[in-house]
Every structure is written in C-alpha cells, then in structure tokens.
Amino acid sequence: MTPTHPYAAQAPSREAIDGLPGPVLLQFGTDWCGYCRAAEPIVRDALARHPTVKHLKVEDGSGRALGRSFRVKLWPTLIFLKDGKETSRLVRPTGMAAVAEALQSIDSVGG
C-alpha cells in the first residue's frame, strides 16, 4: 500500500513545531516501515473527520533532531499538539478509536 502522502525527509525545526497554532497531528515514521504502512488507513480515516487538524508526516531515524527532541523510539509515533503543546501520543496504533479520541481532544471543530 502506498502512503497517501509520504513522510517528509526535511523536518521542520522544533521551534517551528512549538509555534504552530491550533490542532496538529505530528506523525513520525518512514515510508518503508511495515507498522507505519499498517497504521496509514487508520490515521487517514480518523483525520477525515477532523479537516481542521494540520497533519505533518516526518521521516524519522537515527540522528534526526526533531524525532529525538520528542523522544521517539518506535514508528509510527503520533503526537497530538494543541497550540504547540503535546496533549497526547500514540505509538503503533492498531485501531481507530484511540486515534479518533486523541484527535477529538485537540480539535474542537471536528467530530
């Protein structure tokens, strides 16, 4: 399965992420990761109900500063932000319920 949009090889700075207004889903992983590919339809379907949530997919790996600043250890890691502050995170999600709940917690418009 091909991702809807690939993980960005160039990551924004931590300062840029911390300064983002509103609801943001920051997703770490790689396009070749099996766990990431399996989570793709779960994340896509949950995001469909939250069109105001900004979705950033960032390629992660050894020595990648943004992933290290968020202490990412496994892929995919989903970090839910509201006005630049982390509210929750999910690691290797396997069902839509947890993703939907986390999105609802940051998005007052969606649902």
Residue 36: closest CA among 64, 76, 83, 94: 76
Whether the pLDDT of residue 73 is over 60: the answer is yes
Residue 38: closest CA among 89, 88, 74: 74
β-strand partners of 68: none
Contact status, residue 111 vs residue 49, Cβ threshold 8 Å: yes
pLDDT in tens, 53-66: 999 999 999 999 99
Report helix, strand or coil for 68: helix
Whether the pLDDT of residue 110 is over 90: the answer is no
C-beta atoms surrounding 18 within 10 Å: 14
Whether the pLDDT of residue 2 is over 90: the answer is no
> Where along the chain do its domains lie?
14-106
| Residue in the structure block whose two tokens are 């319920």 | 97
pLDDT in tens, 7-42: 999 999 999 999 999 999 999 999 999 999 999 999
What class does CATH assign to 14-106?
alpha beta
| Residue in the structure block whose two tokens are 């399965």 | 1
Q: What is the pLDDT of residue 4?
A: 65
